Every structure is written in structure tokens, then in C-alpha cells.
Amino acid sequence: MKLKNNTAKHLLTGGLLSAGLVLAGNAQALTVISFGGASGDAMQEAYYTPFAQKAGITLTPGDYNGEFARIRAMVETGNVSWDVVEVESPELARGCFEGLFEPIDWELLGIQDDLIPAAIHECGVGTFVWSTVLAYDADRLSRAPESWADFWNVEEFPGKRGLRRGAKYTLEFALMADGVAADDVYDVLATAEGVDRAFAKLDELQPHIQWWEAGAQPPQWLVAGDVVMSSAYNGRIAAAQEEGRNLEINWTGSLYDLDYWAIVQGSSHVETAYDFIRFSSQPDTQAQYSSRIPYGPVNPAAIAELSEKQAARMPTADANLEGAIAVNTDFWVDYGEELEQRFNAWASQ
């Protein structure tokens, strides 16, 4: 297929040169913060444990839910206890602008030619490609939902729905449910009328929504029968499927993007942080991670180390990109804080 925007065009391209691993001999400790859950478990096996053993350091993992204010507070108070943190692209751009993240010295890091172009950022290094998808319990629905319009259709698909508690992603899904074409979502959402339209659509569904705040919740709720369908990160649903749960994914109208490693400004372990990022960007470690949870590797050489079945489950597979939207980072940097404030006021009513 022909991808329809620059972000998508770049997702499957990049150099194949390999980079050597140089570990800091005097490193003693490193704290790495991720979004946890099944992804954190995969990082533990693919990145944290082998890196700590090879570097001869203590690596302390932790998780959060993307609370940008926590990072800002650390830097502003000078009490920085996190070294490397996983961030989504809008937060990376905002944090870079505010000086919350260390600028990346790509010459020192030495892996720029190995990664897809979308992974290269002034203040971050892409680590995987993910999608937020429509997931559902195949045992509880008589037929499969085919769109976000079906997600909103509580008459034909009765039951609770799970949505991320926040404006980001939720407003895009609301507009698609209201008939906005995927290619037009951000153009419409950039207008006052479009924002009003998205919130009006959310008004229709609000009594049936169960809001999730952590990526582990949608599969848990689906398995427990609390919801019949939910927006969810594709990898979290795949992990539940591996456990034998009859959960399914509809990729149409999904949103995809990269998550990045960023180094918190004021970290005392910048050299070791570089070593960790370099290690976790190699083809073999990327393949180890993606074989445990189907998020797309940013080092294209890793794809060759995955089975055909594993590659087909990635957000970067051609079939899964059909009808999908690349998250518009610039939009969320420009409008994110305003829209999140309005969403929080609306959700608390």
C-alpha cells in the first residue's frame, strides 16, 4: 500500500548499519521508567536484565502513566530520581521545548543510521511503534464491531465501553464515530466546531463509558467482563491473547505512533543512559522485545529476526496500516493542554 503521510512513509524505512555497544565501566546505577504492564515485562527480559548483567550495574525499573507533571517537578526542584523515561511523542516535543530532557548527542550515540527516520529526535530516541486499537471480547458479541461507529452503537452492541481517560486519542475516535474520515480527523479537530462535535459525540456515549488510566486495564476489564469493547494498546491485547483469552482487534481507525526514550535533564547517569539506549536499539534486543509483545521495532534489521507470524501482528504490517492514522504530534503539542483541560472539566461533570 502507499502510505499517506510523512510519518507513515518513514516508519518502514531506515539504514541497516550496526552499531557497537560501548558500556561505561564506572557506571553504578540507572533508573528506567516505562509504562509498565506487559510492555514493561518485555523490556525487563529484552533490555533491563541483559543490560545490567553486561554493564555490571544495578538497573532499577519503574512505571508511570505518562504523568508529565512529575517529570517537570523533578527538573524544576532539582530532585531528579529518574534517568531514562519512556514518553509519547507529544510529551517528548513539549519536554524538549521546556528543557526537561537532555538533548541527544547523536554522534556520540552512534546509531542514527540504524533507525527509522521517525525514531530520530532532538531529545529522544524512538524505541517502538505502537497502535491504539478497538479491542473486543469475541465471546460476548454476536458479531465483530467494524468501526468506531459500531463502538458507539450501544443498541446493536450492548455493554460498557472502555476509553482512555484523556483527550488524546479519545477525541479522534469520537470524530471517526461521527463520520469524519480518518484523513480529515486532525483538520476537523483543529477547529472550534470540530472540538464541539467531538465532545457532543462523547456526550452520547458517556453513560456507557468506563475510563481507563493504565494500559493494563483494558485487557483486564475485557477478560473480567466489565466491558465488551475498549480502546487499547495493541500489545496489551496480544499479551492477553497469548494467555488464551478470546479477545480480538479491529485495526480500522487505529492510531499509531512511536514511544521514545528520553533522558531527564539533571540525571547523574547520562553516560550510562546512552549505553542503555544504544543497547536497547540493537537488532537482536529489539527483536527480543518485539517477539514478546507485538510493538514494531525501530531498527529495521530486527524484522529479519522475527517470524512471519510475529511480523504480521505488528502495527507496521501493511494490512494493519490500512485505514490507520499517524498521531499528529504537532497538533497535540499545540492544542494538547487546552484540550486536556476541557476534557477533564467535561469528564468530572
CA dist 17 and 44 (Å) reads 26
Q: Say if residue 138 is in the same domain as residue 108.
A: no
**Any idea of the CA torsion for 312, 317, 319, 325, to the nearest 10 degrees?**
140
Q: Say if residue 85 is in the same domain as residue 139.
A: no
Average pLDDT, the chain: 91
Q: Say if residue 122 is in the same domain as residue 141.
A: no
- For the stretch 311-329, pLDDT in tens is 889 998 889 988 899 999 9
Q: Say if residue 336 is in the same domain as residue 269.
A: no
Confidence of residue 280 (pLDDT cuts 50, 70, 90): very high
Q: Is the pLDDT of residue 334 over 70?
A: yes
Q: Say if residue 224 is in the same domain as residue 342.
A: yes
Q: Kindly state whether residue 32 falls inside one of the protein's structural domains.
A: yes
Q: Kindly state whether residue 290 falls inside one of the protein's structural domains.
A: yes
Q: Is 335 exposed, middle or buried (0-12, 13-18, 19+ CB in 10 A)?
A: buried
Confidence of residue 6 (pLDDT cuts 50, 70, 90): very low
- For the stretch 53-80, pLDDT in tens is 999 999 999 999 888 999 999 999 999 9
Q: Say if residue 117 is in the same domain as residue 243.
A: no
Q: Say if residue 45 is in the same domain as residue 142.
A: no
Q: Kindly state whether residue 1 falls inside one of the protein's structural domains.
A: no
The domain that holds 83 is classified in CATH as 3.40.190.10
Three-class HEC string of 281-323: CCHHHHHHHHHHCCCEECCHHHHHHCCHHHHHCCCCCHHHHCC
Q: Kindly state whether residue 67 falls inside one of the protein's structural domains.
A: yes
Q: Kindly state whether residue 265 falls inside one of the protein's structural domains.
A: yes
Q: Kindly state whether residue 342 falls inside one of the protein's structural domains.
A: yes
Buried-state track 324-334, b at ≥16 Cβ within 10 A, e below 16: bbbbbbebbbe
Q: Say if residue 197 is in the same domain as residue 116.
A: no
How many structural domains compose the chain?
2
- Give the pLDDT of residue 28: 66
- For the stretch 133-186, pLDDT in tens is 999 999 999 899 999 999 999 999 999 999 999 999 999 999 999 999 999 999
Q: Say if residue 261 is in the same domain as residue 343.
A: no
Query: What range does the domain containing 158 cover?
Result: 131-255+324-347
Q: Is the pLDDT of residue 83 over 70?
A: yes
Q: Kindly state whether residue 291 falls inside one of the protein's structural domains.
A: yes
Q: Say if residue 22 is in the same domain as residue 118.
A: yes
